[in-house]
Structure 1
Amino acid sequence: MVSFLTLLALAFGLSVDAFAAALGKGAGARHTTFTGALRIGFVFGGMEAAMPLIGFVIGLALAGLVANVDHWIAFVLLGGVGLHMIWEAFTGRHDDVEELAEETANGPIRGPRWIHLSLAALATSIDATVVGVSLAMMDANIWLACLIILVVTTTLCTIGVLIGRHAGRWLGHWAEVAGGVVLIAIGGYILLDHLSKGI
């Protein structure tokens, strides 16, 4: 069973992509209110928390077939996602996501702005589907994992919107690097833990 601290670290690792987009939104909004920031944070958090469920179901379907190498699969998937996040941070591939987030303004989110924000949230949470597969291999409590991801992502994205105009995009890039490193480290820890036990 995966520990609470591991799930918490995983949630932070996953949420930084959305955090970077939230910073972009904050950088493009001069008068963001706390309520508006919280709404945006919740959209990102809800999407980030929902996607691992899809991956978890896929992982359960495959669990019986890959029981002997599940730790290797978790290592490869988490390491791959982590490296992809670092690559995106240095190549600027997530700038389109930030631009989508910036197009949402304060006040009720509806119509095209709602669609744009949802697309930004979806784009930053796709990696979480892959991580959901890893969670199934790790015998994790998926409901607890999703709850932690929801709370962490919502909180970080709300903060990101509020400080984005001051921090700018520079912090977003390095946050993505840090998140990628965390996911790679978790994957490495899982692999080493299993190997040390002779599993």
Structure 2
Amino acid sequence: MNHLQALTEILLMSFALGMDALSLSIGIGLGNINHKTALQLCFSIGVFHVILTLAGLVFGNLVGYYLGGLAQWFGALLLMGLGAHMLYSSLFGKEETLKPIGNAFAMTLFSASVSLDALSVGFSLGLRSATYGVVSAMSFGCISMLMCATGLFIGKKFSGSVGRYGEILGAFVLIGCGLNFLF
């Protein structure tokens, strides 16, 4: 395989993995998070994409077989829980800015769930060279970080025009993505 073909393959995988970060971040952006939290979330998602890809490279196909289904269920339930919390806060909470990712624990769980697909991709990358896997992991992290920022930006712009309805829509986006992960 030549270098251009390998680079093209890595970039295509990076954008495919980053699509979760983009779509879910639109939902979070509708909740109108502040700039500091947005930057932390982008960084966290990027780091988790790198770490989980590298973990996949290290642990191989056996672990992926056993954890793959469990990880998918965990990620789905987490997203639906965040969406349900955001929906409840939108409908019954105070008139304050909603922060579905308002603390470090929630942000870490969200970032890990968005990045779980990188773990399974890392398992398959283990069949290639270590260099290919490490370059892929770094690309996954950078692209997912950028796609998260894009999603947050889109969500924030849309949120300003629709107000509380945007927060409710964002909650349904998260719940829908969680259901999509399950089925």
TM-score range, shorter chain: 0.5 to 0.7
The alignment of Structure 1 onto Structure 2 pairs a total of residues equal to 144
Decide whether the 8 Å contact of 1:41 with 1:154 is kept in 2: yes
Alignment equivalent of 2:31, drawn from 28, 48, 58:
28
The answer as to 2:135 corresponding to 1:133 is no
* Alpha-carbon distance, 1:155 to partner: 0.6
For residue 15 of structure 2, what is the aligned residue in structure 1?
Answer: 12
Alignment equivalent of 2:108, drawn from 103, 118, 123:
118
For residue 48 of structure 2, what is the aligned residue in structure 1?
Answer: 47
Aligned residues: CA RMSD: 3.6
| SS in structure 2 at match of 1:54 | helix
How does the TM-score come out when normalised to structure 2?
0.62
How does the TM-score come out when normalised to structure 1?
0.58
Decide whether the 8 Å contact of 2:52 with 2:115 is kept in 1: yes
The answer as to 2:57 corresponding to 1:56 is yes
Distance change (3 Å), C-alpha of 1:171 and 1:138: farther
* Alpha-carbon distance, 1:158 to partner: 1.1
Q: Point out where structure 1 has 5 or more consecutive residues left out of the alignment.
A: 63-79, 106-112, 178-199
Decide whether the 8 Å contact of 1:55 with 1:130 is kept in 2: yes
| SS in structure 1 at match of 2:126 | helix
1:99 and 1:138 mapped to 2: Cα distance?
40
Alignment equivalent of 1:103, drawn from 95, 100, 119:
100
* Alpha-carbon distance, 1:40 to partner: 1.4
Decide whether the 8 Å contact of 2:78 with 2:113 is kept in 1: no
